[in-house]
Amino acid sequence: MATKTTKIAQLGHPILKENAKAVEDISSNQCQSLISEMMRTVEQAGGVGIAAPQVFNSVRIFIMCSKPNARYPDAPLMEPTAIINPEIIEVSTDKEKGWEGCLSVPSIRGLVPRHKQIKVKYYDRLGQQHHVVYSDFIARVFQHEMDHLDGLTFVDRVESVQDLVSESYWYEHYATSA
């Protein structure tokens, strides 16, 4: 049985500018179905994360699923994880610029400053609370997806338009050194 491919909201769609609402009932069929749909969608799209607003649901859920791929060859491998009602509790003072792309902003890459380490709190799909410290690439993914819940994309975070490039240019000039 073939699964349908979920459409991903593209830059300019109003839902990507909304502040997403908290999830009230994690165990509901609606919430669990959304999480499953997001897991399928991010896998089919080859992403390392996706937020509910990107699949047209303005609620505070995102999936992190880091794995090495053509865009992020050094990405650590992690199990796909549903992050529900996340909060960033603490951030490191040191930031680092790194290349980011987005399923909602195809064909563009941006050099985005992010905190190198973050302490976060969130609920998983079973409703269990987690307190975790993430660093480097995983911290970057968390902050990128968290931005989607707050109505931002990585384009809002670049310090200058000079830090934006086409994905084809990025592959040609930066991919091997990224």
Known binding-site positions for Fe cation: 102, 144, 148
Which entry of 24, 145, 167, 172 is annotated as an active-site residue? 145
Do residues 98 and 177 touch, judged by C-beta distance below 8 A?
no
Active site residue 37: no
Do residues 47 and 85 touch, judged by C-beta distance below 8 A?
no
Which residue ranges make up the annotated binding site? 102, 144, 148
Question: What backbone phi and psi angles, to 5 degrees, belong to 31?
Answer: -65, -45
Do residues 35 and 29 touch, judged by C-beta distance below 8 A?
no
Distance CA 177, CA 102 (A): 19
Distance CA 37, CA 29 (A): 12
Distance CA 72, CA 62 (A): 19
Beta strands in 21-60 (DSSP E): 49-51
Do residues 133 and 2 touch, judged by C-beta distance below 8 A?
no
Catalytic residues: 145
